[in-house]
Structure 1
Amino acid sequence: MTLSSLVAASTTPAAVRPAIMVVAFEGWNDAGDAASSALKTIKAATGAVKLAGIGDEDYYDYQFSRPLMQRNAKGKRVIKWPTTRIYRAVVPDSPVDLLLVRGVEPSFRWKSFIAEILTRAEEENVQGVMVMGALLADVPHTRPIQASVSSEDPAVREALGAHAAGYEGPTGIVGVLAQFAEAAGLPTLSIWSAVPHYVAQPPSPKAQLALLHRVEELLPLALDLHELTEDALAWERGVDALATGDADVAAYVEQLEQAQDETALPEATGEAIAREFERYLKRRHGAAGTHEGHQDPGSRPGAPPAPQSPDTPGTPWSSDTPDSPGSPE
């Protein structure tokens, strides 16, 4: 069972094909830019077409989310304003389309902002919602990163094997959007990956890869992740080099490794093995991104259980950075 098949089975014929809305925002819920980068990858892979943008000045404080001065393809200096854009993508051989929402977390008027997104979602016949986020956590960069899936909807949990959301505390725009979508009767799930808090600066390709693997399983969607896999391996080697050059950091990483290894026994769970085998079969049967001889650092056979999402009590985000982009929801 995937989110796509779950949505397709529950929809009625309409003038517009049903769609699943996939959402990620830069800012508080996007440690290492992993979630927003993952959505950018999906947009490029699916050839998604822009439908609309959401009014900048209505929702953004430009002293907080500052515009950027850049040069465009013609070499002309232009200003890039913080905004949120909506795209639609047709997925081959899928009963549903994708509605991609990618932007910067707004500064104010969140309820109106979400109402505008959900109004557009209704116009586009959205029948399910997937939100992505990334948080800073006390996890080692040397171990596989997996993404956890949670939902408040019992039917979604039963069909997709998600766990119940249990987080209580400060939240971000994706947490609010997920709750509003659930209140509107849309099957909704959240996908979160952990980013080692001592390498919080973007990019974080290993966490991005973990998110995209989950997306592939839940939609389903075949993505060419070869280049991203190479980036994740290079990122891990780079962090290795930095860590070994500092005795204190090296000792701390070793401590995190030991703690995770002890809690992850036995190493190979039935769920991890089954997920890895399904991914192997999908790529073997012509899915994009099949490249033999390249080991995926974000998903290896025998991987330990996925880190808990910020919807789960006891999530080990860094207490030193409570206001960071990796803080819970």
Structure 2
Amino acid sequence: MARVLSALQYTEHPILSNTVFLAAWGGWPDAAESATRSLRELVRQISATQFATIDPEDFYDFAEQRPVISNESDGSRKLTWPKNEFYYWKADDGGRDLLIFIGVEPNLKWRTYTDLIHKVANESDTKLLVTVGALLDSVPHTRSPRVTGSSIDADLGVGFEHIKYAVPNYEGPSGLTSVLMDRLKQDKIPSASIWGHSPHYLQVAQNPTLTHAILSELQQFITAPIELSKLAKEAEEFDENLVRALADQQEIEGYVKRLEERYDSEEEFRQSPEPAALVQELEDFLRQQRGSEEDVADGDTND
């Protein structure tokens, strides 16, 4: 037990009050890195202070979640292990302080890992937990990014009475967001979950358009001032590059039009399907398109 507790390493012990706790994890719940990037952008803008980390040794299968090697500007080589970092920001006006956690979803010992996060949340006077995620979904990149919120708590606490998220109805394999919510629920701490929906057919490392949308949604939970104009410009350039990249891909263009019709009719505003189902849907559509083209070609030949 002592070894596990030593995995939680502090550089200081800030005194926080009336705290909103924001958390995001890289990996499965972070499509196009939109969730973790939104919190990293927040940390950068408000100059939040890192004060604690969780050592990765006990929580990862390093054959699955491998450390990353990179070249430094001075010619040296740097090995980076999976990071789990806590940051804080104190409100100047006696308002809500912020506790921010950015980590990587672990492979092992989820309950122990969650207990360590709970310990920091408890010490930080957490009044509300907001988890941030991003998932692959059958949404078109040509429409406004979809960001949805859910909560099992009808009352999110003082100051958040106006936020009325739907009660989640998902059933199935769970991510760490649900595990942490369940852990804090034992302390009667309310929680909400924000999810950005990323077009599943886009193979991009980052999606600034979705990151911008997630941060816009997060603004209602925080009093810290953030500026989104630079990110909005980056999102605009990203969208313009997408238009150029997909301009000559007629099959994808046809699939996107189908998604637009579904999106506009709100037919697809429901529980999102599994990634495998999304891939199958796209493959089926492309197969149908190729079949139609072959039929036309055969008809021309017969003529």
- Same topology, TM > 0.5: yes
In structure 2, the partner of 1:232 is 235
Call closer, same or farther: CA 1:196–1:159 in 2, change over 3 Å: same
> Of residues 268, 272, 275 in structure 2, which corresponds to 1:315?
272
Q: Aligned letter for 1:127?
A: K
The DSSP-based 3-state class of the residue aligned with 2:58 is: helix
Determine whether 1:255 maps to 2:258.
Answer: yes
2:40 is aligned to: 40
> Partner amino acid for 1:140?
P
Name the SS for the 1:241 alignment partner.
helix
The amino acid that maps onto 1:53 is T
Aligned-pair identity in percent equals 27
Task: State the AA in 2 paired with 1:111.
Answer: R
Distance in 1, Cα, partners of 2:208 & 2:48: 22
Q: CA deviation at 1:67?
A: 0.6
Partner in structure 2 of residue 90 of structure 1: 90
User: Counterpart in 1 of 2:196?
Assistant: 193
Q: Which runs of 5+ in 1 are unaligned?
A: 1-14, 265-306, 323-329
Structure 2 unmatched runs, 5+: 1-14, 281-303
SS in 2 for 1:56: coil
Aligned counterpart, 1:288: none
Task: Tell me the alpha carbon deviations over residues 102-155 of structure 1, each in whole angstroms, 9 at most, x when there is no partner.
Answer: 011111100000001001111122221110001111110010013111111121
Kindly indicate whether the alpha-carbon contact (under 8 Å) linking 2:96 and 2:222 is maintained by their aligned counterparts in 1.
no
Partner Cα separation in structure 2 for residue 129 and residue 92 of structure 1: 21
Consecutive aligned runs of 4 or more in structure 1 exceeding 4 Å deviation = 72-75
Q: Which has the larger radius of gyration?
A: 2
Q: Give the Å deviation of 1:74.
A: 4.9
**Which of 166, 170, 174 is equivalent to 1:163?**
166
Q: In the alignment, is the contact (CA less than 8 A) between 2:34 and 2:206 conserved in 1?
A: yes
Question: What TM-score, normalized to structure 2?
Answer: 0.80
- Counterpart position of 2:57: 57
1:42 is paired with a residue whose SS is helix
What's the offset of the Cα at 1:83?
Answer: 2.3
Matched-pair contact (CA < 8 Å) for 2:20–2:221: no
Match of 1:213 among 205, 208, 216: 216
The alpha carbon displacement at 1:314 in A equals 2.9
Secondary structure of the residue that 1:66 maps to in structure 2?
Answer: coil
Equivalence map 1:2-21=2 (5 Å): 16-21=16-21
Q: How many residues align?
A: 262
Q: Which residue of structure 1 aligns with residue 300 of structure 2? A: none
Q: Residue in 1 aligned with 2:10?
A: none
Q: Which residue matches 2:245?
A: 242
Contact 1:153 1:182 in 2 (8 A): no
Deviates more, 1:80-89 or 1:151-160: 151-160
Report deviation, 1:184: 2.4
Quick check: 2:59–2:106 contact (8 Å CA) kept in 1? yes
CA distance, structure 2, for counterparts of residue 33 and residue 162 of structure 1: 24
Using the TM superposition, give the Cα deviation of residue 158 of structure 1 relative to its aligned residue in structure 2, in angstroms: 5.6
Shift of 1:45: 1.1
The Cα of 1:71 is off from its aligned counterpart by: 3.7
Q: Specify the SS of the correspondent of 2:201.
A: helix
- Secondary structure at 2:193's aligned position in 1? strand
Q: C-alpha distance in 2, partners of 1:121/1:193? A: 24
Contact 1:151 1:162 in 2 (8 A): yes
TM-score normalised to structure 1 length: 0.74
Q: For residues 154 and 247 of structure 1, what CA distance do their matches in structure 2 show?
A: 46
| Distance in 1 (alpha carbons) for counterparts of 2:201 and 2:271 | 19
Q: CA RMSD in A?
A: 2.1
- Once the two structures are superposed, residues 179-220 of structure 1 have per-residue CA deviations (whole angstroms, 9 ceiling, x without a partner) of 222232111100011000011432011111111001112224
Q: Which amino acid aligns with 2:201?
A: Y
Counterpart of 1:204 in structure 2 is 207
